[in-house]
A and B are shown apart, each in its own frame.
Chain A
Amino acid sequence: MQRFSPQEIVETIRMVQMENLDIRTITMGISLRDCASDDIAVMERKVYDKICRRAARLVAVGEEIAREYGMPVINKRISVTPVALVAEATGTVEYARIGAALDRAAREVGVNFLGGYSALVEKGTTPGDAALIESIPEVLATTERVCASVNIGTTRAGINMDAVARMGWIIRECAQRTADRDGLGAAKLVVFCNAVEDNPFMAGAFHGVGEPDCVVNVGVSGPGVVLRAVEAAPEADFGTLASIIKRTSFKVTRMGELVGRAASDKLGVPFGIVDLSLAPTPAVGDSVARILEAMGIERVGGHGSTAALALLNDAVKKGGAMASSHVGGLSGAFIPVSEDIGMIEAAELGVLSIDKLEAMTAVCSVGLDMIAIPGDTSAETIAAIIADEAAIGMINRKTTAVRLIPAPGKKVGDSVEFGGLLGRAPVMPVSSLSSAAFVARGGRIPAPLTALNN
């Protein structure tokens, strides 16, 4: 019989009760490849039926696990095959109908988000991809739970600058069509370079083509637990600090492994991966920025922030990798602005810039995330921001992403409020210089030399 010391028991309880340790998401990946049809009405019905059948017990099982283990499971979510791949056979451009079917299915099974209204266009755009991309603003404005993503580059393929230019316009359109909600539509759209196929986190989750018919992926989260561990060692040198973070990350990730296996078992669906990402929430004490500050940076955004984040990100991976049989997804620290109280404060004080955030994304997951920018920012400027971020991902063989909200009618100094896990974001300044001629060139940025590794 296993015996546990009171210290061990109390440590676990403290992590959950006081340090916000939780399972951020159990995400069920569902393939829609068997839902293709040349009749869009048939496809709608197949998509709705399959999601409802596969995910019927997802929410109940998530809640059961939370009670059994005393470990909160915050979100139950679904990712599906990129819809562009499945819908192309319909030969129509009425993709919004598929978006609506996805939304109905998500509501029926009780998940708060469903990702996979997506297209993969890193090397070129098919008619189906184009139809999907053009329908994104309408779908995100008229559905509640559907999330969209578009992959516009990879290390292997380079960057599809035609798609980048279009996405600059689409992001603006998403925000404008949801102007009454501070541009919420844009908060449900992620533009990726090197998108991963098993990411459980929204809004960028989709069920990749190499995945099984149905799978369960888990995202853990414990910025609060890491923060407390870092705070308890104010004078530790970097080697010691990294060790402390590794040990903490190991324990946090074990919870993900446990919950992933339990969910897989109860649902009768294979267990995919645990995503090690440190995902902040707007709750006090659940901030990645605060960890960097606890390391000795006055405010996130100050010099040293990138180095601190690099250490944190690497130590989390090293500890987590030992704790799980299958690590995957994005697996890095997230630095969204609106979802992290430390980031929000630094942005409001004007000490955290988009430029510094861009630099930080070179050493962590994922990218320029949940950043509000002035509503009058041009589509070309947004496209150029996407291109910069994609270039970092392409050259460094990592995932990068852009989720910007050009807040309609708002200027620097204003802020947008989404509430819940999406939080609030001060509008941050972007460069006033024009990149229009650069974006207008079109074509593809060739794959980098690092792609030639065979």
Chain B
Amino acid sequence: MGMRIAQAAVMLLALLFLAPFLLFFLNTFKDKDHIYDTFHMPNLLYWDNYSRMFATSDFIPSLGYTILICLFTLLIIVLFSSMAGYIISRTRNRWISSLYLLFAAGQIVPIQTSMLPIYKIGVATGMINTAPFLILVYVAGGCAFATLLFAAFTRTIPEALEEAAAIDGCSRAGIFARIILPLLRPAAATIVVTTIYWYWNDFTGPLIYLNSGEVSPLMMTVYKFMGTNNTVDWGPVYALCFMSALPMIVFFLLTQNRLLKGLVVASVKG
């Protein structure tokens, strides 16, 4: 009996959790007169909001821009931090192994604490408001986190493999590229599926460092589009929001098994 009530409560809560998504999705099809009519069932063939959104916003270029930013950020993070993580977990050098603590401590510095000096670096180098600058900022923070993970994963790889290769005359770089890196592939996948959301969904970073570029990352485009359409025309704003959230929703549904496993590993080791 108690079990039944608990199950019903969970189901009800699940529906409540989904309700905002449903409302959101339906809102993208509502015309101007019905946008605040909650229980109005819109005509799902009414595509006007979408076509107006495509016509008046920078959705397509922003989408490409965000994909590129995520791609470069994650590629660089995976490469740099797998190298660092490998060495940190194997080294006998006390300075290098203590980098683990430094990287861990770096995790707690809030962006608001370091944003002004970073902004200043951007202005001084003329890189502010460019995508490479944002990527650099992402890489700096992301590498610290990913290095901790890669170090933890490397510890599970037996050292005997490397010893054998070293005896055969393989260099350290060769050992890393031919033996370690392939074995770290699951760790790399975990990092990609757990952290891509940080970069895709990030708003604070572009707000501070990439505010007035020719093209904006998606979240910045949504923000600016909200500003121009505010209180006048919400339909296209919903359509834009939906289209920019959709890739991550699909990505999540496709990779959720790895993500859900990875989250636990990442949070324990990170």
A is bound by B: no
Where the two chains meet, the residues of B that have a C-beta atom closer than 8 Å to any C-beta of A are none
